Chain A
Amino acid sequence: MADFDVPDFRPYPFVPELKPDAMKGKGPFIAKPVHQEPLGFPGELVDNWEEKAIEKMGDMLKKYRSFRVYLDTCVRCGACTDKCHYFIGTNDPKNMPVARQDLLRSVYRRYFTLAGKFFPKLVGARDLTRDVLDEWYNYYHQCSQCRRCSVFCPYGIDTADISMAAREIMDSIGHGQKYCNEIIAKVFKIGNNLGLPERALRDTLNGLEEDMEDDTGVAVKIPLDEKGVDVLLVTPSADFFAEPHIDGLMGYAKVFHQAGISWTVSSYASEAANFGLFIGSYENMRNISQRIRTAALELGVKRIIFGECGHAWRVAYSYLNTFAGPFDFLDPKYPVPQHICEFTYDLLQKNVLKIDKSANDDMVLTFHDSCNVARATRMGNFPGGQFVIPREVIKAVCNNYVDMPADTIHDQTFCCGGGGGLLTDDLMELRVKGALPRMEALKHVVEEHGVTHMAAICAICKSQFTKIIPYYGFQMDQIVSVHQLVSNAIVLDGGEV
């Protein structure tokens, strides 16, 4: 099945034996000029790239105080070492978060600290050589920026920020990653990561409306580019394309229908994902975010709601107002923006939705917290809402729910193994190995509690799991969308029971 060894489940979690250079390699495919240039980056590695990279690092150190603090404060206590899913799955010591950061930190010391300038060997400082650049490219694409290690760092170093900075520096010298940059270029050209043009989107949505009517006898609509409605739904384009994402989309549609709230999808802002985050590029993040503002204004909506997408919710929750605000034209009664789980939770609390939980009685559910939602955002108006609300939505529509072990959920959740711009086939070995801790936690609840399905609220998590789960002996349809469960259980007025 694979041309690499799929990790064995471990009898109990332990710090793996180190395998130096286990994941040494060339890294993912390098972006071509056609992927780089629309993002404002040089098409290929520039001639004086060493100089340019150091200059860029210097700029970033001046601009972002946090970056310098993260580079300076690490005391190598080792608290982060065994917290990374990629280290656990690959045993490569360079995938210990401290060691991965040190690839950049050692260069920082050489050029920006006194000791490093004069006594480089004494302080572990190194010149930026081609070997170092290649090492950066390889290992900074073995970090999914999930920030689990940061939870355990006594100094609160945001290790993902360092991976993002490394990618930003590499992009600025023309050495970007194909997967992320090709996708961002597609957003600028067509409006979404998939490259799904408006006509194809309309055709897909019409097909889904037909399916829902066949299933339920009720004409549930998925409006596209409809002006003057209450809500603009911004959702990952995977929701229009992949399974089980598309079942989640039909869930959102049924909730809007039953609540009687008018809504629309936009063909211009047909993407919630914002890969600008993964490459640490504020410019690109802003340009992608602006599309949402433009669509909201053109359509004249009162509210913006985000569909199930992990890092999109981080960008929406933490950055949208800065990049694309002020949103003073929206209805101030509602959060700007709002998560679809908050929206559905609220309706469930108010008993607006009729639910037949028995529709999901063929499943025993567990929930995978997506890292960006868990560690970078909130839902609702109380601390920990991002953990509580999705679970409450699931429990409101399902009779059987069990959590995975406590050290693998909430803020200690493990990445699916495909986040942060690594959901690409050229990183399949890394993706399979990095999923080990989550698969172990799932196996535990499957064996102990009869769990049959794992729900998620992130397009990347859903795609990653459906792809890699067979390597661990599960079936791809054991992964479900949270709103797919809502879709199964919601009772539509006038529908067939």
Chain B
Amino acid sequence: MAIEVNGKSIETDEEGYLVNLADWSEEAAKILAAQDKDASDNPFELTNNHWEVIHFLREYYDEYQIAPAVRVLTKAIGKKLGKEKGNSKYLYELFPYGPAKQACRFAGLPKPTGCI
């Protein structure tokens, strides 16, 4: 599978995750997001709230070569963006399919695997 970003074809795996992490761009994230549906069944659109999480995930991945645990993510978001955002309810509202898997896909990170 592949997506078209600014005229360039970018490879994704069967689950829609980027094959090469270096292919990621904000434009690619928007296209990856639009493959999912939001709560009203429209193509998923990224708001500032989503971008805050996506950028944090990418920074964390750069540092640790894995996506953060949900708890690490909520804590970091809470510290950075205020307590009202530092909980998993907020993250699940943003990413209904789960902050770990859906947000990682938009952020161009590999899918977390295991018993999760």
Chain A residues at the B interface, C-beta cutoff of 8 Å: 29, 179, 182-183, 186, 192-197, 199-200, 203-204, 207-208, 211, 236-238, 240-243, 246, 273, 309, 423, 425-426, 459-460, 463, 467, 476
Contacts and interface: CB of A to CB of B under 8 A. Distances in A.
B113 A426 contact: no
Nearest to A194: B114
Nearest to B76: A207
B114 A241 contact: yes
Interface string B1-24: 000000000000011000000000
Given A203-B72, A208-B71, A211-B75, A242 B116 contact: yes
Contacts of B69: 204, 240-242, 246
Nearest to A458: B115
7 contacts: A186-B113, A197-B64, A200-B68, A204-B68, A242-B116, A243-B88, A246-B71
Contact of A243 (B14, B68, B70, B75): B70
Q: Which 6 A-B pairs give the minimum distances between C-beta atoms?
A: A193-B114, A200-B64, A459-B115, A238-B115, A242-B116, A241-B69
B114 A192 contact: yes
Given A200-B65, A204-B71, A237-B114, 13 more contacts: A182-B113, A192-B114, A193-B114, A195-B114, A236-B115, A241-B69, A241-B114, A243-B71, A243-B88, A246-B70, A425-B15, A460-B115, A463-B116
A200 B68 CA distance: 8
Contacts of B14: 29, 426
A235 B68 CA distance: 18
Given A240-B69, A246-B69, A183 B113 contact: yes
Q: Which of B65, B68, B115, B116 has the most CB of A within 10 A?
A: B115
A354 B112 CA distance: 38
Q: Which of B14, B69, B75, B88 has the most CB of A within 10 A?
A: B69
B75 A207 contact: yes
A196 B64 CA distance: 9
Contacts of B114: 183, 186, 192-195, 236-238, 241, 273
B66 A194 contact: yes
A467 B69 CA distance: 16
A186 B110 CA distance: 13
Contacts of A197: 64-66
A193 B72 CA distance: 18
Interface in B58-108: 64-66, 68-72, 75, 88, 92, 98, 100-101
B106 to A, nearest CB: 15
Interface in B14-55: 14-15
Contacts of A463: 115-116
A208 B69 CA distance: 11
A241 B65 contact: no
A459 B114 CA distance: 9
B115 A423 contact: yes
Nearest to A200: B64
A43 B72 CA distance: 36
B72 A204 contact: yes
A194 B15 contact: no
Given A199-B64, A243-B88, A193 B113 contact: yes
Nearest to B98: A467
A426 B71 contact: no
A224 to B, nearest CB: 14
B29 to A, nearest CB: 20
Nearest to A467: B98
Contacts of A194: 66, 112-114, 116
Contacts of A241: 69-70, 100, 112, 114, 116
A200 B66 contact: yes
Contacts of A207: 71-72, 75
Contacts of B71: 204, 207-208, 211, 243, 246
Given A203-B72, A207-B71, A208-B71, A193 B66 contact: no
Contacts of B88: 243
B91 to A, nearest CB: 11
A195 B113 contact: yes
A199 B65 CA distance: 9
Q: Which of B64, B70, B88 has the most CB of A within 10 A?
A: B64
Contact of B64 (A203, A211, A237, A459): A203
Contacts of A426: 14-15
B101 to A, nearest CB: 7
Nearest to A243: B70
A331 to B, nearest CB: 30
Contact of B116 (A200, A203, A204, A238): A238
A168 to B, nearest CB: 21
Contacts of B68: 200, 204
Nearest to B92: A476
Nearest to A240: B69
A41 B65 CA distance: 27
A237 B113 CA distance: 10
A195 B115 contact: no
A488 B14 CA distance: 41
Nearest to A476: B92
B64 A242 contact: no
B2 to A, nearest CB: 17
A307 to B, nearest CB: 12
A208 B70 CA distance: 12
A207 B76 CA distance: 10
B101 A425 contact: yes
Nearest to A193: B114
B75 A195 contact: no
